[in-house]
Amino acid sequence: MGKPYSTWTEAQKESHRACVRRWRAENPEKFAFSQQSREQRPYSKFSGEEKARHLGATKRWRAKMLATGCCTACGKPRDGASAKWCANCLIHTNERNRAQNRALKLEVFAAYGGAQCACPGCSEKRDEFLTMDHIEGWRKHHEKRLGGVALYRWLKQNGFPEGFRVLCMNCNFALGHFGYCPHELERRATPDVESRRTESAPLLNTQFLERRFAYVN
């Protein structure tokens, strides 16, 4: 287990189908209602009141499963793998979440020029090493710091606003902690730090350097 359904063996698929048939036989009313509801109208077309009622029923069912020691996804007894799910559902939930989060990440990268580091001296294109950078600092856009999936969701919900770019983890780390990216300094080949401090550049955080030099001096 632990693989997408399309890669399961026939024995695993048959075991899953048997589980589904057993649940349908034990819960005919729930199965009939779910099929009828799906055929009549999908959840996306529910009214606000219907969604609230459906959400309330789902919460009550999950609370019942938790109280009886059952998985909140399939209703089977939990085996200690998680506080909510059985081992199989935990694996499938994690796989689904990882796939959804990666798809969201790539969608955000595409909106900001593609999966490639924006630093002129960096050629990193592997999305595993890429992230989003706040060009003028996170405080300009958020009340609290956002990163990772939370930031990707915020960017999509707000229509991919300006003020962000794709950077690799190394460039983003250096820019945030030192105020400049070594790639940019190597490209410019400026001899002294003072000239770097006063020189504006896409990958020089001048405000950061001003504060740093003020503190040192």
pLDDT tens by residue, 141-187? 777 778 889 999 999 988 998 888 999 999 989 888 888 888 877 77
Q: Report pLDDT digits (tens) over 65-98.
A: 888 888 888 888 887 767 788 888 888 888 889 9
Say what the pLDDT of residue 210 is: 53
Cα 73 to Cα 65: distance, rounded to the nearest angstrom: 9
C-alpha distance from residue 160 to each of 37, 108, 137, 151 (Å) = 35, 8, 16, 11
Query: Is the pLDDT assigned to residue 131 strictly greater than 50?
Result: yes
For 132, phi then psi, to 5°, come to -100, 140
Say what the pLDDT of residue 51 is: 83
Cα 65 to Cα 47: distance, rounded to the nearest angstrom: 27
Name the burial class of residue 68, with classes exposed (0-12), middle (13-18) and buried (19+) by CB atoms within 10 angstroms of its CB. exposed
Say what the pLDDT of residue 107 is: 94
Cα 141 to Cα 139: distance, rounded to the nearest angstrom: 5
Q: Report pLDDT digits (tens) over 5-53.
A: 777 788 878 888 888 888 888 888 777 777 766 656 666 777 788 788 8
Say what the pLDDT of residue 86 is: 85
